[in-house]
Amino acid sequence: MSSAVRIAREEWRQWLRSRLAVLSFAVFTILLLVTTVLTTLDVQEARHLRLHQQGQAEEAFYSQPDRHPHRMVHYGHYVFRTPPPLAMFEPGVDSVTGQSLFLEGHRQNSAMFADARAEPRAGGFGPLSPAKLYHLFLPLLIIALGHGVILREREARTLGPLLSQGVTGAHLYRGKLLALGALVGFLSLPALFSSIAATALGESLIASMMLYIANVLYLGIWAALALSVSIATRARGVALGILSAVWVLTVLVVPRVGVTSASATLPTEGKILTDMRMNDDLRKLGDGHNASDPAFAQLRTDLLAQYNVNRVEDLPVNFRGIVASKSETDLTATLNAYAEKRMKRELAQAGHLAAYGLVSPYLAVGGASRHLAGTDLETHHRFLREAETARYEFVQGLNKAHIEKLSYVDDMNRNNGEEGGRRARIDAANWQVLEEFRFTPDSANERISRATSKLTWLVLWFLVLVCFGLISARRLTP
């Protein structure tokens, strides 16, 4: 048996003999298991529910009776985002953004009714997820068990005999790292379970493995850090104090300061201010409900000239439909411009925050996990874009039917008694313009490439800490 394995085994025996170590180990294992199981069940249920709701929403749209096409534009449609399989490990932004979006003519809704808004305010760090446990709290267990691996030998005065027997500092380091590595490996089993379960549900193997590895790497960073501090300090109290301070700073303080710094450096304008500004822009485009809005005078002249007629009533197409369609196009361009600006700003902010990942592995692993799981800001943005495309297409599809299937005269008389109302309807078969909406996560490669820079930082952190530990272990004296 190599010396490293022997040392590691001895360390494990020490842990297992300590009631406190066993107790904290057990508590964390239970927490991990319960959280993993609960989150997995929740996400599974949400996946089925959203898919079901999506189908229902489509069914409801298709089964609407014959009516005026513009009524259907306002009737609108719901789209849902099913959580990706890996959300069972890292639910990500879903609880903050909400998972459904209402689509209707002339406006872009933001995802409303996020879970977070009606969450009871019970303080603490909010609901637990496996990712939160791994990123926030598991480092504490590694600190508690890992800070003493060398110091224990020093305090029990076994370090001298060990080193004088020809066990070098490097041997000792490898052995202790192995012991901590085995600990990390054991603690990571629930994460491995999530990854495998996600793969079984159709997630790409490589993405779920990368997610698992990223989290193991993160725990490895804490193990290497605890080991280095254990080598470099002379008293357990001091080692624990230093490690706790590092934990408080990198996990609790730096990320939050980073958020404040990002929103101060790259402020976003409030929604109301944007709405006011956008309204000014939109008013210039004209009201698409009002075909006599002066903004559409040019359109009317052009059309009359094109078809060589004198009155809109004589046009072979429904002028009101054309106005609705034209104004939807212009309006969407404006809305999209504002939306894109906002998303770009959010990405810039996220980038600013991510830069703090250099000093806080917590931020790096959180970001990487969300990228890999497909529960990140980018995926949310793509959802918004795809939903917007779906919105634009069904609205314009309905406008097309409005132009071609409903005569201008009938349209103008739509409020003229019951008979007028009946004549201004089109066949319900036209509602088929709505296409089915199924949101799928980005490809594994796409997600991995987004996570690459954060993963690189994690690898760098790990390597630097291991090198530092090895170098100081070589100089280890009793």
Partner 1 sequence: MMREFKFMLRDKAVWVWLSLAFVFSLAAVSLGLNEVSQQNAEIAELKQLDRAERRTNLAAQADWGSAAYYTFHITYDPPSDFAYAAIGQRDVSPWKHRIRMLALEGQIYETDANNPDFALVGRFDFAFVASLIAPLLVVLLLFDLRSGEQVAGRLRLIEASAASGAKLWWSRAGLRVSALAVALCVPLIAGGLVSGAPILTLAFCVGAVCVYLAFWTMLTLLLAPATRTGAYNLTTMLGTWLLLCAVVPAILTQLIERVVPLPDGGEIVLAQREAVNDAWDLPREATYEPFLQRYPQWADHTAWNDEDGFEWKWYYAFQQVGDQTAEPLSQSYRVGQARRDELARWSSLISPATLMQRTMERLAGTDMQAAIDYEQDVRQFHGVLRDWYYARLFKAEVFDADVAIETIPTFDPVGR
Task: Kindly tell me which of 48 and 256 has the beta carbon lying closer to partner 1.
Answer: 256
* Minimum distance of partner 1 from residue 328's CB (angstroms): 17
* Minimum distance of partner 1 from residue 76's CB (angstroms): 7
Residue 346, exposed/middle/buried by CB under 10 A (0-12, 13-18, 19+)?
middle
* Minimum distance of partner 1 from residue 3's CB (angstroms): 26
Distance between CA 262 and CA 281 in Å, rounded? 29
Task: Kindly tell me which of 257 and 409 has the beta carbon lying closer to partner 1.
Answer: 257
- The DSSP 8-state label assigned to residue 424 in this structure reads T
* Minimum distance of partner 1 from residue 220's CB (angstroms): 20
* Minimum distance of partner 1 from residue 314's CB (angstroms): 22
* Cβ-proximal residues to 285 (8 Å cutoff; 6+ apart), any chain: 295, 327, 330, 331, 334
DSSP one-letter string for 260-313: HHHHHHS----HHHHHHHHHHHHHHH--TT-TT-GGGHHHHHHHHHHHT-SSGG
* Minimum distance of partner 1 from residue 298's CB (angstroms): 22
Task: Kindly tell me which of 40 and 204 has the beta carbon lying closer to partner 1.
Answer: 40
Residue 218, exposed/middle/buried by CB under 10 A (0-12, 13-18, 19+)?
buried
- The DSSP 8-state label assigned to residue 117 in this structure reads G
Distance between CA 50 and CA 87 in Å, rounded? 14
| Token pair for 281 | 């822009």
| Token pair for 385 | 């874009």
CA distance to 67, 91, 437, 439, 459, per residue, from 452 (Å): 52, 20, 30, 24, 10
* Minimum distance of partner 1 from residue 195's CB (angstroms): 21
* Minimum distance of partner 1 from residue 15's CB (angstroms): 12
Residue 2, exposed/middle/buried by CB under 10 A (0-12, 13-18, 19+)?
exposed
Distance between CA 401 and CA 387 in Å, rounded? 21
Task: Kindly tell me which of 21 and 196 has the beta carbon lying closer to partner 1.
Answer: 21
* Minimum distance of partner 1 from residue 284's CB (angstroms): 14
* Minimum distance of partner 1 from residue 152's CB (angstroms): 9
Distance between CA 272 and CA 140 in Å, rounded? 43
DSSP one-letter string for 426-460: B-GGGGGGSPP----PPPHHHHHHHHHHHHHHHHH
For the CA atoms of 123, 125, 129, 135, what is the dihedral angle to 10 degrees?
A: -170
Task: Kindly tell me which of 23 and 205 has the beta carbon lying closer to partner 1.
Answer: 23
Task: Kindly tell me which of 171 and 366 has the beta carbon lying closer to partner 1.
Answer: 366
* Minimum distance of partner 1 from residue 215's CB (angstroms): 16
Task: Kindly tell me which of 171 and 328 has the beta carbon lying closer to partner 1.
Answer: 328
CA distance to 210, 237, 299, 303, 459, per residue, from 275 (Å): 41, 56, 27, 32, 44
Task: Kindly tell me which of 418 and 436 has the beta carbon lying closer to partner 1.
Answer: 418
Task: Kindly tell me which of 174 and 447 has the beta carbon lying closer to partner 1.
Answer: 447
Residue 439, by phi and psi: left (phi above 0), alpha (psi -120 to 50) or beta?
beta
Strand order in the sheet with 100-104: 77-80, 100-104, 107-108
